[in-house]
């Protein structure tokens, strides 16, 4: 079984600032916000990785414990009402939707991403 770090190594590490600029440009963004020390993130990440691999998706990733970004992550979470991790965020054409539910199935993840 892969570790959390091995799983998220296939995602694109990013920053809040980079995401915000993608939002402004209207790009479709799929973001996984989580951390290695969260058991729910550990449960969710493999399912997300399976969807990403099967569907050829690109996923951005922010480690919610990244010390250099803590303040900007907190502000981002407040702005988009991200109460907990794991969080899956999809932004496109000025619309942002978020789900924080580690029990989602792969099909539910796929449907949410669109």
Tell me how far apart the alpha carbons of residues 66 and 86 are, in angstroms, rounded to a whole number. 15
| Total domains in the fold of the chain | 1
Q: Per the domain annotation, does 59 fall within a domain?
A: yes
Confirm whether 13 is domain-assigned: yes
Q: Averaged over 96-114, what is the pLDDT?
A: 97
pLDDT of residue 79: 95
How far is residue 46's CA from residue 41's CA, in Å, rounded to a whole number? 9
Asked if residue 71 is part of any domain, the answer here is yes
Spatial contact of 90 and 30, defined as CB atoms under 8 Å apart: yes
**pLDDT at res. 26:** 87
* Range 10-28 average pLDDT: 93
pLDDT digits (tens, 9 = 90+) for 89-104: 999 988 999 999 999 9
Is residue 106, in this structure, part of any structural domain at all?
no
105 domain-assigned = no
> Structural domain of residue 32, as residue ranges?
4-98
pLDDT tens per residue across span 26-58:
889 999 999 999 999 999 999 999 999 999 999
**Which CATH number fits the domain that encloses residue 88?**
3.40.30.10
Share of the chain above pLDDT 90, in %: 92
Residue 63 covered by a domain? yes
* Confidence tier at 24 by pLDDT (50, 70, 90): confident
**Average pLDDT value over all residues in the chain:** 95
Flag whether pLDDT at 59 surpasses 90: yes
Any domain includes 74: yes
In a domain, 104, yes or no: no
Residue whose C-alpha is closest to residue 46's, from 87, 1, 83: 1
Give the pLDDT of residue 63.
97
């Amino acid at each position: 079984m892969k570790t959390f770090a091995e799983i998220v190594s296939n995602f694109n590490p990013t920053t809040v600032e980079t995401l915000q600029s993608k939002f402004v440009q209207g790009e479709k963004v799929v973001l996984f916000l989580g951390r290695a020390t969260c058991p729910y993130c550990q449960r969710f990440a493999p399912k997300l990785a399976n969807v990403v691999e099967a569907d050829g998706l690109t996923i951005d990733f922010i480690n919610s414990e990244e010390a250099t970004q803590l303040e900007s992550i907190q502000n981002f979470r407040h702005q988009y009402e991200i109460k907990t991790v794991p969080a899956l965020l999809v932004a496109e054409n000025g619309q942002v939707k978020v789900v924080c539910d580690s029990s989602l199935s792969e099909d539910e993840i796929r449907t949410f991403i669109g």
